Structure 1
Amino acid sequence: MKRRVVIEETVGETRAAVYEGRKLVELHLDRWSDFRKPRIGEQWTGQVVAIDASIGGLWIALGSGPNGLLSFKGQRDLPRLTEGERVDVIVAKEAIAEKGPVLRHVAEASREKPGVVTALSLRERLDRRFPELAYEDAPVGIFDTATERQLAIPGGGSITIERTQALIAVDVDKGGSKTVMDCSVGAAKLILSQLRLRGLGGLIAIDFPNLRQSKQRSTLIRLMEEMAETDPASIRIAPFSRFGVVEMTRGQDGPSIDAMLNDRFGEPTVETRAIRALRQLEREAKITAGAKMTLSVDQPVWVWLEDAPFDWRAPMTERLGARFTVELGDSVQVKGDR
């Protein structure tokens, strides 16, 4: 299958959209603020901080972020390690929320202190995920609308996606769809595509409209299983419950796009709003070449930019020249003055 990646590197983040043929299937995001975060596929030197027999594994300090878990299970060549020892590991699963990364053993320690041994860029991680990718450098604007809670189902009806700490809840509304079955089929296709697109995983509960016939329920489950085969993640789908709910799980190797962009209430974080403001400044400055630009931002964004976890002014100056200023205002807007 031919895959291509549209990738955009801006001040503060790198965005990537993966297409299979003409279909957008995945979104990936790297934030500059996460530059010390252990990424999937990277090699790190860690130090054993605890041996936990109750979970059958070791807690490993990596020198950045929460401690990672190195399980005894499936580690054939794992040496007998003691607290304080150093060891090289590969990140098999990135930290998600409060849970640290999942690790697998590689070799004896190659560094004197915990830290990254082999870092991987977003392009390099995508190359490992998919072979023979074709890259195109271009704007990736879909992130601004990629985490909407409510989406229309083609043919009628809608779905609402709620991200909670325990699970992903999806409600299906029949709306103007002709039949319950038509709505359910359309919803199933949309839900599975959205889970992959956003990188959502864990336990997912889907409340479909009332499908009374067992044959229809079985048909829908088979259809979902067939669609799940095209997803690189591991997916398990349970039959309809007595209350008409379908439970499923989807493997997750890192935080979702929703979790990276939004807070737990689904609203953009201050960092997201600040990086969007910088993106808007750069876009407007390129349109009005040579003009002096003023980026006006509200109080939360102003505070974040003043105390940002990375230097954004130098790279922005390198891109635009010393022709922009940032001022405190009531909202985010960009003005150009020749």
Structure 2
Amino acid sequence: MNRTIVVEDAIGETRAALIEDGRVAELHIDRWSARESCAAAGAVYLGRVRRVDGSLNAAFVDLGVGPDGFLPFGKAGRPAGFHEGAAWPVEVTREAHAEKGPTLASVEAEASGDAPRLLTPALPLADRLAARYPDAKGLWADESDIDLDAEIEAALSVTADIPGGGRLIIEKTAALTAIDVDAAGRTAQGGAQKLAADLNRSAAKEAARQIRLRGLGGIVAIDFVHMRDRKARTEVEQALRRTFKRDPARVDVAPMSPFGIVELARQRTGRSLSEILLDDSGAPTVETCALRALHRLEAEGRANRRSRLRLTLALEVSDWLNSHADLWHGALTDRIGPRFDVVARDGAPRETAEVSTA
């Protein structure tokens, strides 16, 4: 398999794409703001045991950042010397998502000194991906023909095209992610059942790709076009499972129901793209709009190296930038110089980002 990792160190965030055989298979975003507010997967902390829950055979551990982590004891049970208030070294195995804190595992590490505190930070995004895919070639975004902005925007869409025709409709709810297979005008010779079988096989492969691409975890239900033939149904299930073999996350796929629905469970390893970039209503968060505006300002600054630039934003986005200036102002100044102003326009829509010469 031909793999390439494309990385972009943008202002306010690091973005990366894993490309397998010419198609984007994974998209990742590490926000600079999360470094001080979230416990990243792979980081090691000296935590403080806040509560032991015997009914769960687990404990809740204060990491000093974000919500308390969940530490399951497993078959071995509660470790010797483990008690409420104790300082205990743990590694983050799964980042917090929605209302749930991170999942932890006990590790052998320094257990003295103040707690809670960070002992070992998580590897940078590029290094984590290189360790996961050692056979992959690494490229910076400006060395690649991949448009990360376009790929990320497509991965946030409710719909995704199926190769050969048709589309997937992908809707995330609090309980699960529902994916509907829509023929969308696709035609084929051989009748309705032949069309359904061909469409569903293609849809199964694309659904598996989209689930991995978007970082979706938990329960997913895929509603395929109805097929009467048992062999065709089995072929669709097999196509889904084969595609998931490339996915490093654990995926359990249930047999197709009589109604043509396949349920699966994908291991959560972090927040999905939508959880990082969108708010509860599905609109870009204030931070997402702020960073997109800074990317636009930086691009204009590189293209126009003499003029002073003005970035006009919605008031709430400007307020976010002003309150988080330590995250971006120095980095942007290093890249294009101290020749920009940020101006708020009261009443402007959140996604407003206008760059002009001062």
Distance 2:11 2:242 in 1: 40
Q: Which runs of 5+ in 1 are unaligned?
A: none
CA RMSD of aligned residues (A): 1.8
Deviations 1:236-292 (A, max 9, x none): 111122322111111111101111011233221111111000011001111111121
**In structure 1, what is the equivalent of residue 140 of structure 2?**
137
Deviations 1:83-123 (A, max 9, x none): 11001111111111111111111135144221211112212
Distance 1:156 1:319 in 2: 44
Distance 2:133 2:117 in 1: 27
**In structure 2, what is the equivalent of residue 22 of structure 1?**
22
Distance 2:126 2:33 in 1: 18
**In structure 1, what is the equivalent of residue 72 of structure 2?**
71
Distance 1:110 1:30 in 2: 30
Given that 1:32 and 1:310 are in contact with CA atoms closer than 8 Å, whether structure 2 keeps it comes out as no
Given that 1:46 and 1:114 are in contact with CA atoms closer than 8 Å, whether structure 2 keeps it comes out as yes
Q: Does 1:38 align with 2:39?
A: yes
**In structure 2, what is the equivalent of residue 123 of structure 1?**
126
**In structure 1, what is the equivalent of residue 242 of structure 2?**
226
Given that 1:202 and 1:249 are in contact with CA atoms closer than 8 Å, whether structure 2 keeps it comes out as yes
Deviations 1:170-208 (A, max 9, x none): 111112222111221121111100111111110001111
Given that 1:163 and 1:264 are in contact with CA atoms closer than 8 Å, whether structure 2 keeps it comes out as no
Look up the SS of the partner of 1:306 in the other structure: helix
- The residue type paired with residue 158 of structure 1 is R
Say which of 292, 310, 335 aligns to 2:356: 335
Q: Which runs of 5+ in 2 are unaligned?
A: 143-147, 188-194
Say which of 227, 232, 256 aligns to 1:216: 232
TM-score (norm 2): 0.89
**In structure 2, what is the equivalent of residue 244 of structure 1?**
260
Distance 1:90 1:46 in 2: 9
TM-score (norm 1): 0.94
Moved beyond 4 Å, runs of 4+: 74-77
Distance 2:269 2:53 in 1: 23
Given that 2:201 and 2:235 are in contact with CA atoms closer than 8 Å, whether structure 1 keeps it comes out as no
Q: Does 1:298 align with 2:331?
A: no
Distance 1:294 1:145 in 2: 29
**How many aligned positions are there?**
337
Residues 21, 208 of structure 1: CA spacing in aligned structure 2 closer, same or farther, 3 A cutoff? closer
* Identity %, equivalent residues: 39
**In structure 1, what is the equivalent of residue 295 of structure 2?**
279
Equivalences for 1:109-188 in 2 at 5 Å? 109-119=111-121, 120-139=123-142, 140-141=148-149, 142-178=151-187, 179-188=195-204
Distance 1:3 1:219 in 2: 27
- The residue type paired with residue 97 of structure 2 is I
Given that 2:33 and 2:327 are in contact with CA atoms closer than 8 Å, whether structure 1 keeps it comes out as no
Distance 2:220 2:342 in 1: 42
**In structure 2, what is the equivalent of residue 270 of structure 1?**
286
Deviations 1:123-157 (A, max 9, x none): 23223322244321225322233211111212221
- The residue type paired with residue 186 of structure 1 is S
Residues 105, 75 of structure 1: CA spacing in aligned structure 2 closer, same or farther, 3 A cutoff? farther
